[in-house]
Amino acid sequence: MRACGIIVKRNKPEALALAKKAIAWLEKRGIKVLLDNEVAEKLGHPHHLEKDAIPSQAEMLIVLGGDGTLLSVARLKGIETIPILGINVGSLGFLTETYKEEMLQVLEKVVAGEFETDKRLMLEATIYRGGKAVERNTVLNDIVINKGALARIIDLETYIDGGYLTTFKADGLILSTPTGSTAYSLAAGGPILYPSLNTIIMNPICPHTLTNRPLVLPDSVVVKVVLKSVNQDVHITLVGQAERPLRAEDVVEAKKAGTHIHLIRSPFKTYFELLRTKLRWGER
C-alpha cells in the first residue's frame, strides 16, 4: 500500500488524537497519508487536499468518527473503488464497527492484505417535479419521506416497477437498504436484514391502516412515491443528513445505484456479535 486517506470527525478531540496515532503508524511503514485541508491544518500535516479528491488518490480509507461520519463519506465521488475501515469514535457504531482499541491490530492485518470486505448496496434517489428531475443523490442508509411536526397524515401513492401498490396514509415512508435496516427503519418496526443482502425495505411510518406492514423487495425493482397531499409540510431526508421540502405531486424514485461501497470487516467480531453488543440482545 502506497497511500491511505484518513477522514476524521473534526470536532471530536478523541478522533483527532486517534488520527495522529494512525498517521504515525502508517508513515513509519512508508505509507503516505492523505488528509483533507481542515484536518491537516489542525494536525500540522503536509499532505492535504480537498476532501472530495481523497478517494481518487488513496488505496484505502480510514474513517475516524461515528456512523454519521461514515455515511457522509459514502457520498464522496470515487469512494466505491477503495476499501473503507471505520473506527468507532461515536456512540453506536454499526458501520464504524472496529473499536478504537483495536485500530492498530486491524491496520496490521489490512496492510498485510489479510482482510475481507462487505459489499454494501446503495440507492439512487431522484426527485421529479413537473416531470423533470430536480435532484439526484446516492445514499447508503435510507430515504425518508415524512411530515412536519404540525402536519396531518400524508398520502403517499406508491408504485413498484410501474405497477400501483397502494396509497399509504401515514406519517411518512422509509425506503431502506440492508445497511439502513438497523437505523430509522428498525425504530419504525422494520426488520433487521443481513447487510450484504440485495434487498430494499419499504416501511410506512405510523400507518393509519394497521395492516400496512414493512415490505422487503428485491433490489432489481424501481420504487416510485407520489406525494398526493396538498398544502402539507412534507420533507425528504437522505441518509439522515440532507433534508429537502417536497411539494404536492412531486415524485420520489428509488432504485439500486450503479455503485457500492466496500467496508472492511473487523477480524475480531461477526455481524451477529455486533447485534448482541450494540442492541443488547440477551440482556434483561
Known catalytic residues are: 67
Provide the strand spans (E) within the chain: 3-8, 32-36, 48-49, 61-65, 83-88, 98-99, 117-129, 132-139, 142-147, 154-160, 163-170, 172-176, 199-205, 215-218, 223-227, 234-238, 242-246, 251-264
- Alpha carbons 39 and 197: distance in angstroms, whole number: 35
Strand duo 61-65 + 83-88: pairing: parallel
Cα–Cα distances (Å) from 280 to 18, 40, 74, 180, 268, in that order, read 27, 37, 27, 18, 18
Would you give the DSSP letter of residue 148? Answer: -
The C-alpha cell at 5 is: 486517506
